[in-house]
Amino acid sequence: MTVISIQNPDDPRIAAYRDIKERDLTGRDGLFIAEGAIVVRQLAGPLSLATPRGLLLAENRIDGLSDVTAALEGRAPVYVASQAVLDSIAGFALHRGILGLGERPPRHDLDAVAPPTDEAAVVLAASGIGNHDNMGALFRNAAGFGANAVVLDERCCDPFYRKAIRVSAGAVLRTPTAYASSVGDMVVRLERQGFEVIALTPTAEERLADLKPAPRTAVLVGSEGPGLDPSVIARCRAVSIPMAAGFDSLNVATAAAIALHHVRTGRSPER
């Protein structure tokens, strides 16, 4: 693999990597930054739905990422810089010394990513998730428990924000994702696709442990604090995860993980 040495932080070839934190806030016109070895391996790997556009490494990281640089041969340039130059490019001390540049996949609606209606499937749906740590954890849980897709409404934060990608361990890059204009539209589209929508809420009388999952089940979670709107809960099958005295709910990503595990393991073998 041909590695391009960068000596000057102002080199125009690495402009997309410059001032990462500030650019995180303004967007990158369809591009995103992938940080760390685990994430760039996902970006360069065969399961990635995103397109790799480049790799910028500290000099001491080249040998350890030979598999990634080989995978990018003929697909994207690989740049290398001293740690000092790399820190100047990023705008902060980049201890991991590994930055990938990718192009996000097109935005799809549910019809484009849902499995055929005659197939069993599990979908994680989210409304109003504004915290990037939670967003990344939701995607990691979805990938870990084999969800077929993640669906987000317009009030969710961007899953391709650098921190969300990192927290997801790269799952954002390989998980089919659909976008809905609102949580109401999301529920309608899921129902049209044959999904039973399970709304997680601490106020529900039905316990998750008692739920017999349908062949096609969507687990719907809302933002921490306000949770899901009562009108949305009323339309769905509301279930709760009972808490010990003094607590009313779990972190949204934790609750989603428990629900996904239950749905995946609770279906009968023929499903």
- 190-233, pLDDT tens digit by residue? 999 999 999 999 989 999 999 999 999 999 999 877 889 999 99
Residues across the chain? 271
Rounded to whole angstroms, the Cα distance separating 34 from 54 reads: 10
3-class DSSP state of 91: coil
Q: Does domain 3-103 have CATH number 3.20.190.10?
A: no
pLDDT of residue 255: 95
Same fold, 3-103 and 110-266: no
- Of the candidates 152, 126, 97, the one whose C-alpha atom is nearest the C-alpha of residue 224 is 126
Helix, strand counts (H, E) of the chain: 10, 11
pLDDT of residue 243: 87
> What residue spans define the domains of the chain?
3-103, 110-266
DSSP state of 75: T
pLDDT of residue 269: 46
Rounded to whole angstroms, the Cα distance separating 104 from 158 reads: 11
pLDDT of residue 27: 63
pLDDT of residue 58: 95
pLDDT of residue 29: 79
pLDDT of residue 267: 62
Rounded to whole angstroms, the Cα distance separating 18 from 165 reads: 18
**CB 200 within 8 Å of CB 256:** yes
pLDDT of residue 25: 58
DSSP state of 57: E
Question: pLDDT tens across 163-198, in order?
Answer: 999 999 999 999 999 999 999 999 999 999 999 999
Residues of the chain with pLDDT under 50: 268-271
Please state which of the four CATH numbers 3.40.1280.10, 3.40.50.300, 1.10.20.10, 1.10.3720.10 is assigned to the domain occupying 110-266. Answer: 3.40.1280.10
Rounded to whole angstroms, the Cα distance separating 13 from 146 reads: 38
pLDDT of residue 271: 41
pLDDT of residue 266: 76
Q: What is the C-alpha R_g of the chain?
A: 20
Kindly report the pTM of this predicted structure.
Answer: 0.92
